[in-house]
Structure 1
Amino acid sequence: MKKKLVLSLVALLAVGGLTACSSKTDDTSASSSSTVKETTTEASSSSSSSSSAAESTVTYLTDEEIDKVQTFGDFKEAFKSLIDSYVADFDALIADAPDAAKTTLQPFRDKVVQTMDEQQQILASQFAALGDDNTVIPDSARDTVITSLKTARDQLKSAMETARQQMESAE
C-alpha cells in the first residue's frame, strides 16, 4: 500500500516537472516573442529556411506507445522520449528562425534542456529507491502514470505549436 502511494506521488512529480518545463517554455516563448518579432523584422530577408515554421516534422509518442508503459524502465524511456522529441522540435524551430532570432532563442533552449535533464535525473533517483527498471507499475498507479505522460506530451506539443505560430507571425 505504501509503495503504491509513493509510486503515485513519483508519477505526479514527474508530470509536474514536465508541466513546469512546458509552462516555462510557454512563458519563454511569450517573453521572447517580442524579441523574435523585432529580430525577424530586421532579418526577414535573410531567413535561411524556406520551410514553414508552423509545421513540425518531429514525432512525439502516440497514445498507443504510452499505453504500453508497464514498468519503471518503460516509464523512464517514455519520459526520455518526450524530452528528446521536445528538444528536437525546439532545435528545428531554431534552425528555421532567422539568424538574429536564433541568438535570442538558443539561451532559452539551453535552459529548457538543462531543466529537463535535471528532472530526468531526479526521476531516476526516485525510481531507484522504489525498485529497478523491471519493477512493474502497480495497476492502481498505472492509469495515473499513463494519463500524466499523455498530458505532458500534449502540453509539450502545444508549447511548440504556439512557439512556431509566434515565429511565423513574426516573419
Structure 2
Amino acid sequence: MKKLLTAGVALLSVATLAACSGKTASESSNKEAKASSSKVEKSSTSESKSSSSEKTSKSSTTSVASKEVILLTDEEIDNAKTIGDFKNLYGKLVDNYKKYAQDIGQQIPELQRATYTQQVEPAIKAMDDSKVQFNNMLSSAGSDDTLVPEQGRTPFLTQIRTARDSMENILEGVYKSIEEATSSSAD
C-alpha cells in the first residue's frame, strides 16, 4: 500500500509539472504570436474542431491489467493550428488527465483513498488554474480563429507532446502499481 501512496505523490508531481509546463508554453506562444502579428492569418476552426472531436481517448472502463493511457493522440497535436485549437488541446490534456486521476482514485483501496485524494486535489486545482491562465494569455494574442505562425506552433507542440508522454507514463505506472498491489493482496 505504500506504493499506492508513492504513486499518489508521483501523480501530484507530474500534474504540477504539467500545469507549470502549460504556463511556460503559453507565455512562449503568446510572445511569438504577438511578434508575428503581421503574419497572422484568419482561418475557420470548424474543420479542425470537428476532426479533434472525432478522436477520443480510450475509455476508463478497461480493466487495470490492460490499461493503456491515451491523453492526446499525435494527430490531435499535429492538427493544432489556431489559438482555439491550442486552447482545446491543452484543455483536453488537462480534462483527460483528471479523468484518469479520478479513475485511479476509485481503484485504490478505500483505506488509502482519502490520502490519495488529499495529495492529488491540489495538483488538479493547479492544472485547472493553468488552463484558465493559458486560455486568457492566448486570448490576448487574438481570437480563436487566429492562425498561429509555425515558429510559435512548433515549440508549443513539442512541449505539449513531451508533457503528454510524461503524464501517460506516470499514469500507466500508477495503474501497474495498483495491479501489483491488488494481485499481491489477493494471494
CA offsets 1:75-113 (integer angstroms, 9 cap, x no match): 110101111111111111111111012111111221121
Counterpart-to-counterpart distance in 2, 1:11 and 1:90: 18
- Unmatched runs of 5 consecutive residues or more in structure 2: 1-20, 28-61, 183-187
Relative to 1, partners in 2 of residues 1:141 and 1:152: Cα closer, same or farther, differing over 3 Å? same
**What is the match of residue 118 of structure 1?**
129
SS at match of 1:152: helix
**What is the match of residue 145 of structure 2?**
134
| Residues 1:73 and 2:95 aligned together | no
**What is the match of residue 105 of structure 1?**
116
Shift of 1:56: 3.0
Relative to 1, partners in 2 of residues 1:72 and 1:147: Cα closer, same or farther, differing over 3 Å? same
SS at match of 2:157: helix
Tell me the TM-score normalized by structure 1. 0.66
Counterpart-to-counterpart distance in 2, 1:108 and 1:120: 20
Task: Write out aligned runs for 1:45-64 (5 A).
Answer: 53-56=64-67, 59-64=70-75
CA offsets 1:57-86 (integer angstroms, 9 cap, x no match): 654211011110011110110101111111
Counterpart-to-counterpart distance in 1, 2:117 and 2:66: 19
SS at match of 2:174: helix
User: 2:169 aligned to 144, 155, 158, which one?
Assistant: 158
Task: Write out aligned runs for 1:16-55 (5 A).
Answer: 53-55=64-66
Structure 2 counterpart of 1:86, which letter? Y
- Unmatched runs of 5 consecutive residues or more in structure 1: 1-9, 17-50
| Residues 1:94 and 2:101 aligned together | no
Counterpart-to-counterpart distance in 1, 2:111 and 2:81: 45
Relative to 1, partners in 2 of residues 1:87 and 1:12: Cα closer, same or farther, differing over 3 Å? closer
Shift of 1:126: 1.1
Paired positions, count: 128
Q: Percent identity?
A: 28
CA RMSD of aligned residues (A): 2.4
Structure 2 counterpart of 1:79, which letter? Y
Relative to 1, partners in 2 of residues 1:134 and 1:11: Cα closer, same or farther, differing over 3 Å? farther
Counterpart-to-counterpart distance in 1, 2:26 and 2:108: 30
Q: Could you tell me whether the CA contact under 8 Å between 1:58 and 1:85 is conserved in 2?
A: no
Tell me the TM-score normalized by structure 2. 0.61
Counterpart-to-counterpart distance in 2, 1:11 and 1:103: 28
Structure 2 counterpart of 1:127, which letter? L
Q: Could you tell me whether the CA contact under 8 Å between 2:82 and 2:146 is conserved in 1?
A: yes
